[in-house]
Amino acid sequence: MENIILIGHGSPKKDANNIELTGRLLHSAIHPNCNNNCVKVAYLQFAEPGIADAIKECVLSGAKRIIIHPYFLSSGMHVTKDIPEIIKEAKDMYPDREFIYTEPLGIHEKLVHVVMERIHTANGLKPHDIEKRSFEIISEEADLSDMPPEQLPIIKRVIHATADFEFKNTLMFHPDAIRTGIDAIKAGKNILTDVEMVKTGIIKRWLEPYGGKVICNINDEDVVRLSKDTGKTRSEIAIKKALQANNNIGIIAIGNAPTALLKVIEMLNSPIHPFTHSPILVVGVPVGFVKALESKALLAAQKFPFITNLSRKGGTPVAVAIINALLKVSKEGL
């Protein structure tokens, strides 16, 4: 069992001690199906819990590995001396536990984008203007001239969502993918997602005029029960349930669970699946080290319409960006 501790400096001003939200967002991003408190926050000073108390809580909860991240911008004395000394004391106290201490936030290109957004906001730019300028920057920094025009809105939105230009080279499109997705949206078909985070990120107001809905069954009581009884992931069970029960699905968006994507491929290749009357677009971009790349490689070999990326990268932001790009194109055209 692994726990993560996110460490903030702490402030005498109580309102400034607010990294709990960051901790929850981190937990949702890396453990989307987890209900345990495996991402904790702590403060170096002025606020509770302290680092030693957070480590003790991890130990008492059964964590064998404790990853500690200093939520600091630079490697000052707190990061290089104060926090390591507390960790050393914890290692002596809990010798049977593994401690991993990460680098601070430091210098990262994604932080530059955050600063740019703050500057634009301070200058009075509206969110739409910020997004417009972001897309202009993408066009300036990446040569997309060799990309098929119908793919550009999707590629740009994925890069915008991830600040990762690598997706220009790793995204793959079935020849019928974009047309199938747009046709499904305009026909009022539903969008099935593997996790709630993907469902939440999809812009519903762009879908609703066509009559479609976004479906996710991962938290249904029977899905949770079956997962405990069978040992299968909730995402896999939820996808199977939805495909068996709902004949109005036009797009399936998998952003996190390779097992869910493998189940989709299995069911769509079955001669008895209930969707032979109309094609379904499968957006499969799970992230991770176990089965993620393998499941996407298998998807890339399918005859039915798909959008995927051949790398370990992916996740909720990528799946959401692809779907929202399709919705925007459906609404506004290329």
- 147-178 pLDDT, tens digit per residue, is 888 999 999 899 888 888 889 889 999 999 99
For residues 323 and 331, what is the distance between their CA atoms, to the nearest angstrom? 12
**Beta strand ranges found along the chain (DSSP E):** 2-8, 39-43, 65-70, 98-101, 171-173, 190-193, 214-215, 249-254, 281-284, 306-309
Q: Which of 81, 101, 121 is the last residue of a domain?
A: 101
Q: Which residues contact 86 (CB under 8 A, 6 or more apart)?
A: 51, 52, 55
Residues 184 and 67 occupy one common structural domain: no
Rounded average pLDDT over 246-251:
85
Stretch 280-305: mean pLDDT = 91
Tell me the pLDDT tens digit for each residue of 89-107. Answer: 999 999 999 999 999 988 7
With respect to residue 130, please indicate whether it lies within any of the assigned structural domains.
no
Inside any domain, residue 134: no
The count of domains in the chain is 2
Instruction: Judge whether 153 lies within some domain.
Output: no
Domain's final residue, options 44, 70, 101:
101
290 and 186 belong to one structural domain:
yes
* Residues labelled catalytic: 160
Q: What is the DSSP string of 210-228?
A: GT--EE--TT-HHHHHHHH
Q: Which domain holds residue 49?
A: 2-101
CATH code, domain carrying 266: 3.40.50.10230
Residue 135 covered by a domain: no
Amino acid at 13: K
Point out the domain boundary residue: 101, 135, 153. 101
Do 230 and 318 lie in a common domain? Answer: yes
What is the reported pTM?
0.62
CATH number at residue 96: 3.40.50.1400
DSSP labels, 147-173: S-GGGHHHHHHHHHHH--TTHHHHEEE
23: in domain: yes
Q: Examine residue 309 and state whether it is found in any structural domain, yes or no.
A: yes
Asked whether residue 142 is assigned to any structural domain, the reply reads: no
Q: How far is CA 32 from the centre of its chain?
A: 8
Which residues, in sequence order, are CB contacts of 214 under 8 Å at separation 6+? Answer: 190, 191, 193, 199, 202, 204, 207
Rounded Cα distance, 192 and 45, in Å = 45
- Average pLDDT in the 20-44 region? 86
